[in-house]
Amino acid sequence: MATEGPATRRVQVAEHPRLLLKLKEMFKSKFASIPKFYVRAPGRVNIIGEHIDYCGYSVLPMAVEQDMLIAVEPVKTHTLQLANTNPLYPDFSTSANNVQIDKTKLLWHNYFLCGFKGIQEHFGLNNLPGMNCLVDGTIPPSSGLSSSSALVCCAGLVTLTVLGMQLSKVELAEICTKSERYIGTEGGGMDQSISFLAEEGTAKLIEFGPLRATDVKLPSGAVFVIANSCVEMNKAATSHFNIRVMECRLAAKLLAKYKSLQWDTVLQLEEVQAKLGVSLEEMLLVTEDGLHPEPYTPEEICRNLGISLEELRTQILSPNTQDVLIFKLYQRAKHVYSEAARVLQFKKICEEAPDNTVQLLGELMNQSHASCRDMYECSCPELDQLVDICRKFGAQGSRLTGAGWGGCTVSIVPADELSNFLANVHEAYYQKSDRSSVLEKQSLFATKPGGGALVFLEA
């Protein structure tokens, strides 16, 4: 249940060799001591519902088996010592009572610090214990499978466990969503929510305001396959993501003003629909009437809202979007309202399970990709090529997943065609390029819904 906290499980070496052999041994050589406990938080694949969580709309992800694991030893000093099994990520240490997150520098440990600081601030604590932590991740970085949020969630649960405090999964998800913004990413909460609320064997419809998760049973005759484009995209490293968040915020305000609503308090496109009390299909018509397809300049937005450029910059835009010269409000709103409708249709088809379920779900995924590519402009040539290859070799539907601009695709493939599909896509996308040097395991794999964040103790 979402009201409960994450589970604690006792495991033996034979059950979890990565945890109790690799991680424990590396911890011993690093810190000359033994971990007291371990925490796991999974990555996720979003099946449908891209870039709409921060607009207030439901999304449909599932957790994947790839995850973040942290081995932890609380210590009496007030020092946080962080290390990573991957030599690309250098060690870091800081005072537990003076955590500083420099969002101008993209450093791996900042994501840990986000989770740590989120818990610290939630409880209003000043005198925190120190800890030695060794992090091991199997989620490919910057792949759209939520490696960064999994680390934030893992760190939040580590900190909660060290403190001996209790929080529900929902509370943890909300704290970690908020705290990831310390790094400068204006995300909506899907990644953190599924990391805590996931359950084995089922995808989840994640709804916001209030946060809740509903099981969505995926069709048994199909497999979801993740393919990595091998183009890395870090949300915090560019302003693409935050510009889209602001375009949606501005579209919501202009639509609210157009419909004579109190626009200044509106932040999300969902609020406009809720205040008007109309369907998503009707919101697409409101968008057609209320916004124009040509890009908006900051000056035109100010004229529409009756505010100054200074007010736009300081009161509405985020710091890294204050110098943007054009905003595509019509296109972004059209994507959000149509994508929100596709999520609900996807869930309905899964529930009703008609004979052509896989085909219908595939069509929705294809429509989603077209909208992400054309209206939201968050695809890239490699993703488009990979989607085309996946469809050519048997996927009923294929789309980018995650923020986009790189990262992964997710495809729905009939189960009996899986082995041919994997072989053909591997040859067409990975072998016919220099991409075959990328770790095979991380490039192309079938996945099924996994469980959420856990605390492990050695049995």
Encoded amino acid at 458, one letter: E
Place of tokens 């000056």: 299
Q: Could you identify the residue written with the tokens 């060794």?
A: 134
Cis, bond preceding 210 (omega within 30 deg of 0): yes
CA 35 to chain centre: 29
**Preceding omega of 17 cis (within 30 degrees of 0):** no
Q: In angstroms, rounded to a whole number, what is the distance separating the alpha carbons of residues 73 and 10?
A: 17
Radius of gyration of the chain (CA): 22
**CA distance to 118, 211, 272, 412, per residue, from 57 (Å):** 24, 11, 12, 23
Strand duo 7-11 + 454-458: pairing: parallel
Amino acid at 293: P
Tell me the C-alpha distance between 282 and 255, whole Å: 13
Please give the structure tokens belonging to residue 337.
Answer: 């309202």
82 to 103, 168, 182, 220: CA distances (angstroms): 18, 26, 18, 42
Cβ-contact 9, 455 below 8 angstroms? yes
d(CA 362, CA 357) in angstroms, rounded, equals 8
Please give the structure tokens belonging to residue 21: 């052999």
What is the set of active-site residues? 191
> Rounded distance, CA 35 to CA 53, Å?
36
CA angle 440/441/443 to nearest 5° reads: 65
